[in-house]
Amino acid sequence: MGQQWTASRIPDQTGKRIIITGGSGGLGLETAMELAAKGAALVLAVRNANKGKQAAVQINQRYPQAQVEIMPLDLADLNSVREFAELYRSRYTSLDILINNAGVMIPPYQKTKQGFELQFGSNHLGHFALTGHLLPLLMATPHSRIVTLSSIAARTGYIYFNNLDGRIGYRAGKFYCQSKLANLLFAKELQKRLNEAGADTISVGCHPGIANTNLVSRGSGKQAIWPVRFVWGLFSQTAAFGALPTLYAATEPSLIGGEFIGPDGPGSRKGYPQHDISFEHKVNYGTAAKLWKVSEELTNVHYDFTSAHQTEE
């Protein structure tokens, strides 16, 4: 990998269709901006339609030719996830890149529409279901990819199979770490299964290091109080920098699937994107397979790998 990969090195994306969950602010919007600059046709999958429209306006002000569509998606409601996928499939016959970007971070104890703990339910199960619904379309699109955002928090994550919903105790930070480890394990297990199916679709995980976004609002959508923003600002990199691992994971031609991309600085907190092997000790394929099975049961979404676009031998 060359030194200091930046957004200027993104290949031309003309003709590619890309879905970004949570594309109306923070890392998602930065990611959308850079992909729009390279000619991609974007679908921003957002919970808040007004924020989505504002994001589309911002992108079109900077890149008047950009194709940006807003579609409603609430990852905390599996019915909404299914409806989003159905709507997308009714409009389009291909999907080049799915970026599972949206996330909630350390909210007070809340449940999703189907009764899951909010962070595990939105960050992991919502994206697991979404990817499953869109998989046939992805696999029918040559050289497609699925990018799933994890976090530096995955390092201290653990999957509490006996307490996934927080019923026997909830700590917001601990459950955030669990959801982000789940994202990492999902990205890895998905690649394993794509390989077994002989698909040329790839799955790549990534994390932004510590990026200065509004995730610190604890899921409220409101701005965090200024002392929190100030301290966070000291330790974090800009959202534009934080988006680089996602953009690299989504567009770098040399990736073969299964990589985990993060910043190259100390502790993976800041810097330019690289293949981050410092999380490998967290990848237990037994746990990943068990999580997959549990996720299929909880969401009632079963992956179909038979529509594979076979790789050339």
Rg of the Cα atoms in the chain: 18
DSSP string, 65-106: T-EEEEEE--TT-HHHHHHHHHHHHHH-S--SEEEE-----S
- 275 phi and psi angles, rounded to 5 deg: -75, 110
pLDDT of residue 234: 57
Q: Give 1's contacts (C-beta < 8 A, 6+ positions apart).
A: 254, 274, 275
pLDDT of residue 243: 95
pLDDT of residue 306: 87
109 assigned to active site: no
Q: What angle do CA 231, 233, 236 make, to 5 degrees?
A: 110
Tally of CB atoms within 10 A around 159: 21
pLDDT of residue 220: 43
pTM for this predicted structure: 0.93
- 107 phi and psi angles, rounded to 5 deg: -80, 165
Domains and CATH numbers, the chain: 14-299 (3.40.50.720)
The residue assigned the tokens 């700590």 is: 171
Query: Active-site residue among 88, 92, 170, 176?
Result: 176
- What tens-digit pLDDT sequence spans the chain (313 residues)? 446 999 999 999 999 999 999 999 999 999 999 999 999 999 999 999 999 999 999 999 999 999 999 999 999 999 999 999 999 999 999 999 999 999 999 999 999 999 999 999 999 999 999 999 999 999 999 999 999 999 999 999 999 999 999 999 999 999 999 999 999 999 999 999 999 999 999 999 999 998 765 444 444 455 556 665 555 555 567 888 899 999 999 999 999 999 999 999 999 999 999 999 999 999 999 999 999 999 999 999 999 998 655 444 3
User: Side-chain half-sphere of 254: how many Cα atoms within 13 Å?
Assistant: 9
C-alpha distances in Å from residue 179, one per residue of 15, 173, 213, 214: 33, 10, 18, 18
Tally of CB atoms within 10 A around 64: 7
User: Shortest CA distance to 114 belongs to which of 302, 304, 300, 294?
Assistant: 300
